[in-house]
Amino acid sequence: MTTATRPVPGTDTSGPASPYQSYVYAYPHKTAYRKLPDRPRLDALWAAEPKDALSLYLHIPFCEVRCGFCNLFTRIGAPDGLTGAYLDALERQASAVREALGEREPVRFATAAFGGGTPTFLTAAELERLCDIAEHRMGADLRAVPLSVEASPATATADRLEVLAARGTTRLSLGVQSFDDTEARAAVRPQRRADVEAALARVRDAGIPVLNIDLIYGIDGQTERSWLRSLDAALAWHPEELYLYPLYIRPLTGLGRRAGGTDPAWDAQRLRLYRLGRDHLLAHGYEQQSMRMFRRADAPPQGADDYACQTDGMIGLGCGARSYTAALHYSFDYAVGMHEIRGIIDDYVSRPAADFAHAEYGRRIDADEARRRHLLQSLLQAEGLRTDDYRARFDGRTPADDFGAELSRFAARGWLAGDGTDSTLLRLTPEGLAHSDAIGPELFSPAVRAAMAAYERK
């Protein structure tokens, strides 16, 4: 499940002045990927890549309902046999990918995650199989690395959680969004608070070390009071992590059908609720990691948070997952509309193993894009970007050499601590962090921007 979260960059309908342009959780976005005419072989793509600290991601594209704000690659429900056929295909893909990684040097996974969709849409027995695929086909040692799993309240059942805990899950992320039943309905995610509380109790009973709760602000009818009530309801569970997501309305989603144009009043409401939420969590012993992420100061350390996205070397399995080498990001076809998604999933489950030895859709990452990606994904973290890391990675260049104009603009708006020329650390101010969703898109390259604009939504 999840994270109500991962909006599509460049697709919101607000004007350029809005702090809410798009959530840049990965760069470049999949709407900048294109069919790769040469269908490169994975063994060639991975031959020269370091393989001793890869990330593994398994994508399960099924949910019980489609939340009104969600544009993730997922379908509602699954006809008889589809989840089994999907796991069969996942197994074929895992075997093909593992073979492509080769045996010449050790392959080691440093983190693992099951995302979606809602991984816990699978039954307990199917989750066992999912873990088997990660362990036996890919060689990931799930009990030895951080393993993060997304779940919805209705599917976080005791039997599934028991499997996940036993197989080594270190972090369970529950998409709650709101503890207020009326707000949950307004976000087109009907659920009752009593059911959410019961799910949280089951997660705590399962003994998974890190509980993350996702909440959304900016819902129709949400007030400062009701927002604080949701925050306090979440805090009562002492979650190790909390993600606070601004609501986005995106094309082709349930809420998107009612989308209007820009809405300064809504922007102001979201900014107000953001500041309120941030200050509330800071006052309750949480540390801010990024605009959305807060971690309890005494929580056990985790390796697999959104900062890990910055590293190269990601193996994604499943039809909505991306994989990253240093020079190519790739995946399968992408869609948001339900009909198209169903078609892509049906196509995925019908593929023979040989198909999975190639990359089909993707985007090449040249030196400029690699620098942008590093800047973007470091700068949007509260701890900022260390310029010596940047220098070491990019031949002695500095962020100011490559992005001086952008950094001066951010500094002039009060978003950057100092004047943007600090020689050791580039860090956003609190207002800069609040405007993360405007800063990210401003750092997209002209080529990525053009590809995203030319992408035909489906």
User: Applying CB under 6 A, which residues contact ligand SF4?
Assistant: 1-2, 4, 63, 66-67, 70, 72, 74, 116-118, 152, 175
- Nearest-approach distance from CB 70 to ligand SF4, in angstroms: 3
Residue 439: both structure tokens together? 């800063």
Pick between residue 175 and residue 440 the one whose CB is nearest to ligand SF4. Answer: 175
Cβ atoms 14, 262 nearer than 8 A: yes
The one-letter amino acid code at 27 reads Y
The candidate with the shortest Cα–Cα distance to 78, out of 335, 255, 341, is 341
DSSP 137: I
- Nearest-approach distance from CB 205 to ligand SF4, in angstroms: 22
The candidate with the shortest Cα–Cα distance to 434, out of 267, 258, 199, 266, is 267
Pick between residue 297 and residue 338 the one whose CB is nearest to ligand SF4. Answer: 338
Pick between residue 150 and residue 267 the one whose CB is nearest to ligand SF4. Answer: 150
Pick between residue 74 and residue 290 the one whose CB is nearest to ligand SF4. Answer: 74
- Nearest-approach distance from CB 152 to ligand SF4, in angstroms: 5
Residue nearest to ligand SF4 (CB): 70
Pick between residue 336 and residue 434 the one whose CB is nearest to ligand SF4. Answer: 336
- Nearest-approach distance from CB 455 to ligand SF4, in angstroms: 20
The candidate with the shortest Cα–Cα distance to 264, out of 10, 14, 9, is 14
- Nearest-approach distance from CB 332 to ligand SF4, in angstroms: 17
- Nearest-approach distance from CB 327 to ligand SF4, in angstroms: 30
Residue 32: both structure tokens together? 């900048």
Task: Give the DSSP letter string of 190-212.
Answer: ---HHHHHHHHHHHHHHT-SEEE
- Nearest-approach distance from CB 255 to ligand SF4, in angstroms: 12
Q: In angstroms, how far is CA 49 from the centroid of its own chain?
A: 23
Burial (CB count <10 Å: 0-12, 13-18, 19+), residue 259: middle
Cβ atoms 114, 58 nearer than 8 A: yes
Pick between residue 212 and residue 387 the one whose CB is nearest to ligand SF4. Answer: 212
Pick between residue 152 and residue 378 the one whose CB is nearest to ligand SF4. Answer: 152
User: Is the Cα torsion angle 123, 128, 134, 137 positive or negative in sign?
Assistant: negative
